[in-house]
Structures are given as structure tokens and as C-alpha cells.
Amino acid sequence: MHITSLRRWSTGVSVLIVFAISLFIFWLKRRFTQPISYPAGQAIIRYIQLHDQCSEEEAYQRLATFVKRHVPLDDWPFVDYRLAHDRQRLLDLAQRMLMHNPDEIDEI
């Protein structure tokens, strides 16, 4: 092999290595900077059940407690009513709160 062809080969390999490393870094950034998607609706309840090993009723009670921590004291009867009669609205309210406080999903 000539020195010239060896240099070309070395340069080509170097370019391929740099390209591969760039692709890998791009993939890592894309993978770890995607927005966190939180469960919606019933999936929040299932998440609480799995995370805390509790029943569905206990999961709803924990969700109501989470909502109560984020609403004024005057609105607590509203949360209790939603827990007893309109759980879908309670789930919607909790989901909106999680959008504003995403780190608190594990505190439910």
C-alpha cells in the first residue's frame, strides 16, 4: 500500500468515526430531552395502584388528597364531591395540576 492511499483510508475512517459519534450524540440528546408524557385519565389511577400497591378506591382517595394540596381550603368540599360523584372530573383536575407540577406525580 502506498502512503497516499493509507492516508486517504485513514482520513475516510476518521470521518466515519466522527459521523458515527455525532449520530450517537444526536440520538442520546433526542432520547433524553423528549418531554415527559404523563398518564391520562384512568392510567393515572393504574399508575398510583402500581406505584403504591393499593386498591382502586385508595388510589382515588390519594388522588383527591393530591388535589386538595393544590386547591384552597374552601374548595375541599368540591374535591370530596368529585371523589364521591364525578371521578372523571377529579381525574381531569389532577391531570391539569400535573401539567403545572410534573415532578409531583410520585407524591400522589
Q: Where are the domains of the chain?
A: 1-34, 42-107
Q: Is 23 exposed, middle or buried, given 0-12, 13-18 or 19+ CB atoms closer than 10 A?
A: exposed
User: For residues 99 and 96, what is the distance between their CA atoms, to the nearest angstrom?
Assistant: 5
Specify the pLDDT at position 37. Answer: 56
Q: What is the pLDDT of residue 38?
A: 53
Quick one: pLDDT at residue 36? 55
Residue ranges in the chain modelled with pLDDT below 70: 1-6, 33-41
pLDDT at position 34: 61
pLDDT value at residue 68: 93
